[in-house]
Amino acid sequence: MIPPVDVATLSAPAQKILAPATPAKLREMAARGIAPGVKPAEALTIVALLAHSNEPSVRDTAEKTLSALPEPLLKAALDADLPTATIHSVATHLREHAEAISKLLKMPQIAIETVEEVARIGSEAVTEVVATNEERLLKHPRLVELLYFNKHTRASTVDRLIELMTRHNIELRGIPAWKEVAQSIQGELIAEPSDEPLPDDLLFKETAELAERLAREAAEEEDTHHENDEGEESLKDKFKPLYQQLSNMSVGQRIRRAQMGTREERMLLVRDANRIVATSAIRSPLMQDNEVQLLSRNRNLSEDVLRVIATTPEWLKSYSIKRNLVENPKTPVMLAMRMVEQLREADLRKIARSKNVSGPVQEAARRHLNRRSS
């Protein structure tokens, strides 16, 4: 929790500006960073406090000032110690100002909540700053999780952070596919930090931009593949460039796209020939029920993916997903048989006559029909 600024600790001129009886025009001046007789650090603190003012005009002015602080004020203020709440306010408003964030991160009064927010929303340059403090990252692994899911964090930086965590046997439970992520980094050549983005970083960024464009253009709930009457799939032409971009990535980078990317990326990566990529895609925290419904009846998916679906209680609340899994011959037989008894009679009759399900599942459907009729 971020402790509030104790106004009583501020100088007399600062307290006067913040006093309710002070003329509104003086507070509006202070909201722009103009506070006569007040040192820069306190002037900045006043702006941060006025951003929570009950007066809309003062509050809006202070918010605008925090988002575009005058450089002389900012530079002078950052040379002094700032209250924890002021650090938080400035850091969250200057998410793209790497130089300022770098100084704020070194202040002893900074709260871990502030560092976490910066890791979550920071620009590429800012995330690079956060990622340099290994001691802090090891003490607060949650920071690595937030950097992992921040789309601005470089791919090469994420690789270094994952290697750091695995080297110290730290499990990141905030990454659903952590087991796959940790496994993917084994044996990989980890690049040293670089001032400029590496080729892998540019590929990751370009792929994200392409995927987001396709997501805007795609029809609602559209699959990336066509399926013919025999159940054979073919990739739709418009998704081939995205497929190629993803194919050029390392295993770890494809897993990250599966965890944080678009629906179209998940639909491609859940079909990935690499088992750990495919299973990480189905475990994506962004995976939706309608996607799982579509995938659960797909006969081209691996057993590993269908096993994840069939053993996830949240998804098994859906009757259509359970029915799809039972009817899908690629679903592991024992898992499919467990769900047979939960199906409606009409579906059991269909399965008992179907030539597209496995023999044991068909026989299990017949047994349950006989039990219900006896």
Domain boundary among 99, 123, 147: 123
Domain boundary among 123, 155, 171: 123
**Residue 138 falls inside a structural domain:** no
C-alpha 372: how far from chain center: 47
**Is the distance from CB of 239 to CB of 266 less than 8 angstroms?**
no
pLDDT at 133 > cutoff 70: yes
**Residue 43 falls inside a structural domain:** yes
**Residue 41 falls inside a structural domain:** yes
End-to-end CA distance of the chain: 63
DSSP characters over 4-57: PP-GGGS-HHHHHHHSTTS-HHHHHHHHTT--TT--HHHHHHHHHHHTT-SSHH
**Is the distance from CB of 35 to CB of 14 less than 8 angstroms?**
yes
**Is the distance from CB of 198 to CB of 248 less than 8 angstroms?**
no
**Residue 10 falls inside a structural domain:** yes
Cα distance between residue 139 and residue 129, in whole Å: 17
Exposed / middle / buried, residue 174 (Cβ in 10 Å: 0-12, 13-18, 19+) = middle
What average pLDDT does range 68-90 have in this prediction?
Answer: 94
**Residue 179 falls inside a structural domain:** no
pLDDT digits (tens, 9 = 90+) for 182-194: 988 888 788 888 8
**Residue 28 falls inside a structural domain:** yes
What average pLDDT does range 255-264 have in this prediction?
Answer: 95
Higher pLDDT, 111 or 221: 111
pLDDT at 373 > cutoff 80: no
Please report which confidence band the pLDDT of residue 355 belongs to, taking 50, 70 and 90 as the band edges: confident
Domain span at residue 113 reads 1-123
pLDDT digits (tens, 9 = 90+) for 325-339: 999 999 999 999 999
What average pLDDT does range 48-72 have in this prediction?
Answer: 93
Which residue matches tokens 């007066």? 55
pLDDT digits (tens, 9 = 90+) for 17-39: 999 888 888 999 999 999 988 99
What average pLDDT does range 68-83 have in this prediction?
Answer: 93
**How many domains would you assign to the chain?**
2
**Residue 168 falls inside a structural domain:** no
Instruction: Compute CA distances 7 → 59, 108, 348, whole Å.
Output: 17, 20, 71
Range 59-68 contact pairs with CB under 8 angstroms and sequence separation of 24 or more: 59/31, 61/28, 61/31, 61/32, 62/31, 63/93, 65/31, 65/32, 65/33, 66/90, 66/93, 66/94, 67/93, 67/94
**Residue 34 falls inside a structural domain:** yes
What average pLDDT does range 99-123 have in this prediction?
Answer: 95
| Rounded percentage of the chain residues whose pLDDT exceeds 70 | 100
> Helices (DSSP H) in 168-274: which residue ranges?
178-184, 199-217, 240-247, 251-260, 263-269
Domain boundary among 123, 146, 172: 123
pLDDT at 374 > cutoff 70: no
Cα distance between residue 49 and residue 66, in whole Å: 11
What average pLDDT does range 286-293 have in this prediction?
Answer: 94
Higher pLDDT, 218 or 10: 10
**Is the distance from CB of 122 to CB of 94 less than 8 angstroms?**
no
